[in-house]
Chain A
Amino acid sequence: RKEVEQDPGPFNVPEGATVAFNCTYSNSASQSFFWYRQDCRKEPKLLMSVYSSGNEDGRFTAQLNRASQYISLLIRDSKLSDSATYLCVVNREGNQGGKLIFGQGTELSVKP
């Protein structure tokens, strides 16, 4: 079993739709949690960190449930430009930055 697992994709949604991605992690000692975005054949970039209290950045909302070891990302009012692969990422070692463990990614395709 992979340490970080995500919903299989691809997700094909119309513009304006709300879409949710889920992720589970197996190491209960994990300290920090993130969502990264990766456009086709390019390097991943940080989308947002995920906090226990939940956090929102515009149309994006991230949630963390430590008891269930579950992370989610909600995208509201999807845009064509949201089409990308979304990577769930866990850092085992707190604010160390060096040991990020990635899920396999979920591909999102937003259609007109």
Chain B
Amino acid sequence: NAGVTQTPKFQVLKTGQSMTLQCAQDMNHEYMSWYRQDPGMGLRLIHYSVGAGITDQGEVPNGYNVSRSTTEDFPLRLLSAAPSQTSVYFCASSYPDEAFFGQGTRLTVV
């Protein structure tokens, strides 16, 4: 029972570097989302997808790109990392109302 798998669990990046956070789900859910969580801010929606080939922006999309070529995978790309992107990132897969989260990626940008 893998559920939602996120990799890596921890990452340190230098300012300006790019990277991709991976997210995969094996529940055949149409809906997937990326959130970031900062102290005192709760989870904020970055991007979401309602199915393969369809993505849309959430509350805080700047600096991030997503694509959804398959139902299973929903990678999040940081184009040019900035210290403000230091955060914990959660990927979620949903059907119909319940969201299942990955274990999170703790990203530090120095």
B53 shortest CB reach to chain A, Å:
14
Give the residue name and chain of the B residue nearest to A97 (CB): B94
Over the window 42-61 of chain A, the binary record of Cβ atoms lying under 8 Å from chain B Cβ atoms (1 yes, 0 no) is 11111001000000000000
Indicate if A99 sits at the interface (CB-CB under 8 A): yes
Residues on B with C-beta less than 8 A from A95 are 96-97
Query: Within B56-83, which residues are at the interface with A (CB < 8 Å)?
Result: 58-59
Q: Are B101 and A45 in contact (CB under 8 A)?
A: yes
Report how far A9 CA is from B104 CA in the complex, Å.
23
CA distance A112 to B43 in the complex (A): 30
Total residues of chain A contacting the partner, CB 8 A:
24
With beta carbons under 8 angstroms apart, the residue of A96, A101, A104 that contacts B96 is: A96
Question: B residues within 8 Å of A by Cβ?
Answer: 29-33, 35, 40-45, 48-50, 58-59, 88, 90, 92, 94-99, 101-104
A positions within 8 Å CB-CB of B: 4, 32, 34, 36, 41-46, 49, 87, 91, 95-105
